[in-house]
Amino acid sequence: MQKFTTLTGVAAPLRIMNVDTDMIIPKQYLKTIKRTGLGKGLFAEMRFDEKGGENPEFVLNKPAYRKAEILVAGDNFGCGSSREHAPWALLDFGIRCVISTSFADIFYNNCFKNGILPITVPQAELDKLFEDADRGANATLTVDLEAQEIRGPDGGTIKFDIDPFRKQCLLNGLDDIGLTMEKADAIAGFEDKTAQTRPWL
């Protein structure tokens, strides 16, 4: 998993509350178990019309936000079904950080397992970030995970809280498999001992 340390990028404003996982990645894209290639389906029902043409009004289709790496979103982001394809699609599109006032629990947990940093801030601070994001190509934010702060284009700073264990996992690029592999020597030692003391297993 890619490490998350400091991210400086364009922030796209998604002023929609209760964005569920079906909105993030519609069900027709769930036929694969690959983590790549899903960016094309991200917000597909809002990004494209019935003929597959781009909706010019959708934020990620606007020239200033096509390469956004940060998403500033409304309350209760990632609600709905527990599909892990949702963070896969965000990551494949290039989104590494989502900022909102609240997240659905399963989506929130899945973000950390896939190298995406979900940040929760109070509504007043989210409103300020929306104002920053409205600047288009000038809507550059810096998210510093080590310092636990978001720095705006005018030099303002917003602090955020994060679970220390999840923070260290992101900083070191450790998903569940990575965490297990850190114990590889202990696992190998246990297996060797078991083979000697219980060879019938």
Provide, rounded to the nearest whole percent, the portion of the chain with pLDDT above 70.
89
Provide, rounded to the nearest whole percent, the portion of the chain with pLDDT above 90.
71
Q: Give the separation between CA 106 and CA 114, rounded to whole angstroms.
A: 13
| pTM summary value | 0.87
Query: For 100-149, what is each residue's pLDDT tens digit?
Result: 999 999 999 999 999 999 999 999 999 999 999 999 877 799 999 999 99
Question: Mean pLDDT lowest for which of 29-33, 46-50, 96-100?
Answer: 29-33
Cβ-count burial 146-169 (b if 16+ within 10 Å, e if not):
eeeebbbeeeeebebebeeebbeb
- pLDDT of 123 reads 97
Q: Give the separation between CA 50 and CA 75, rounded to whole angstroms.
A: 28
| Residue tagged 């600047």 (tokens) | 135
Confidence bin at 12 (pLDDT 50/70/90) = very high
In terms of Cβ atoms closer than 10 Å to its own Cβ (0-12, 13-18, 19+), residue 45 is: middle
- Predicted confidence (pLDDT) at residue 35 exceeds the cutoff of 80: no
- pLDDT of 83 reads 87
Paired sense of beta strands 70-73 and 6-14, if any:
parallel
- pLDDT of 195 reads 67
**Mean pLDDT of all residues in 166-180:** 80
- Predicted confidence (pLDDT) at residue 186 exceeds the cutoff of 80: no
**Mean pLDDT of all residues in 84-100:** 97
CA dihedral defined by 81, 60, 156, 144, rounded to 10 degrees?
Answer: 60
- pLDDT of 143 reads 98
- Predicted confidence (pLDDT) at residue 184 exceeds the cutoff of 70: no
Higher per-residue pLDDT: 5 or 181: 5
**Mean pLDDT of all residues in 165-193:** 72
Query: For 38-64, what is each residue's pLDDT tens digit?
Result: 999 999 999 999 888 999 999 999 999
Domains annotated on the chain, with CATH: 6-195 (3.20.19.10)
Confidence bin at 86 (pLDDT 50/70/90) = very high
